[in-house]
Structure 1
């Protein structure tokens, strides 16, 4: 249920992207704005991700939501973030993926939820950080395709469950052409298909790339009921 990648692939991805985040926080001014997270600078981005790492680590040993902490001063942030990521990775490696724990995904709630979730959380925010200071690294196609499945199968239904949005009432298919995988978001049979690389589709769903611009440039293609598809893509589908 919790993803198509192996435990080790998720861990490797989290470790790699945590390294990207640590490097950016260490080498660049923390006052640097983060365009893909409007209103945040690098310090706020790093503080957010470090808090989430610690919250996820604490969730592994809990059957209820743990308290969220606070980031330290900016002077301590880079080292604190590195320690946060290291502690999370150590806890994930020490746990068994089928051990029960608290999580906000569908049941059964196990450590594997956090293996997957932290890989994607770290991936997107490492992209945010690297994009703020230069060219971001490419997102691996298999990880990005799994991220599309996570949005369609976990985040979108969660938004509805929490009352943050109404059901779409229609469905779109997202076809990751570089890996040959399709994720269906919404209700019923898809009325249209949005096709492109897994990375471009994932960044579009998370509003890191403008899907309308990608469509106009030909990087992403749309087939089917394009009017409905455009209306759906204009909606807030992720937190």
Structure 2
């Protein structure tokens, strides 16, 4: 399977921010974002820009723990009437600063540690895909065509199984408990990229395996469409579904990130 390198993640943080910034040109940033209905486009950009700056601060300060109280990414309701000429460069500036901070440290340095994993490696990947998904949100709201390199999309899908899936089980155990059961397995199969993942839900904690195997339900389609489906940005209609549709629907309903 294609998994992006640390260096590629650092580069994609800037690339995805630049693509998002360019999509804002000439648009009304005050329109609501259907996939994030509490925010307008400019508030969405502020959200992801603040997230990037929070990660930058963690890496630059070499904080051993994650200072959640310094994350202002959810405090965006007061922002209104902003223009692309101001907001785009602000976003790219923050992304470039984070990328430079990440490049200046070892990817396996134990700073901003998350679930026992080295922060630079985790946050380089997390911020890449934070930007990917919120770029889709903004471009969808503005009617701008969304395009994504299949290699990046493959990594986004893999990261969803590595981050969003266990996070949901840890944070919302009562919500995710109904997903656990004998024979509960879900196969994600990209038709245009070398990505096949099996989510095993037969025990208390989900286990993800690479490769092709029979599962209770399989979801097949282009890798970008699989990413949009697991992130609840599109319905599964139009993709190939084989087997237990109810289990798939429950998984996508209960695993939120």
Q: Counterpart in 1 of 2:210? A: none
C-alpha contact (below 8 Å) 1:25/1:43 kept by paired residues:
no
1:49-88 residue pairs with structure 2 within 5 A? 49-60=48-59, 61-66=62-67, 67-69=70-72, 74=80, 75=82, 77-88=87-98
1:203 to 228, 233, 238: 228
**Is residue 152–residue 186 contact of structure 1 (8 Å, CA) maintained in 2?**
no
User: What's the counterpart of residue 217 of structure 1?
Assistant: none
Q: 1:186 to 1:103 in 2, by over 3 A?
A: farther
Seen in structure 2, the aligned counterparts of structure 1 residues 55 and 103 have a Cα distance that, compared at 3 Å, is farther
Measure the CA separation in 2 of the matches of 1:100 and 1:154.
18
CA distance in 1, matches of 2:166, 2:3: 19
- 1:179 matched residue in structure 2: 193
Give the deviation of 1:86 after TM superposition: 2.1
Q: Give 4+ residue runs of structure 1 displaced > 4 Å after superposition.
A: 70-76
Asked whether 1:192 is paired with 2:202, we answer no
- Relative to structure 1, the CA distance from residue 77 to residue 181 in structure 2 (aligned partners, 3 Å threshold; closer, same or farther) is closer
2:254 aligned residue (218, 236, 239): 236
Output the TM-score relative to the length of structure 2.
0.80
Q: Please list every run of 5 or more consecutive structure 1 residues that lacks an aligned counterpart in the other structure.
A: 215-219
Distance, in Å, in 2 between the alignment partners of 1:15 and 1:79 is 11
For this pair of structures, how many residues does the alignment match? 229
Taking structure 1 as the reference length, the TM-score comes to: 0.85
Measure how far apart 1:149 and its partner are: 1.6
Q: CA deviation at 1:25?
A: 3.9
Answer with 181-190 or 201-210: which moved more: 181-190
Structure 2, unmatched stretches of 5+, are 203-213
RMSD over aligned Cα atoms: 2.3
Counterpart in 1 of 2:209?
Answer: none
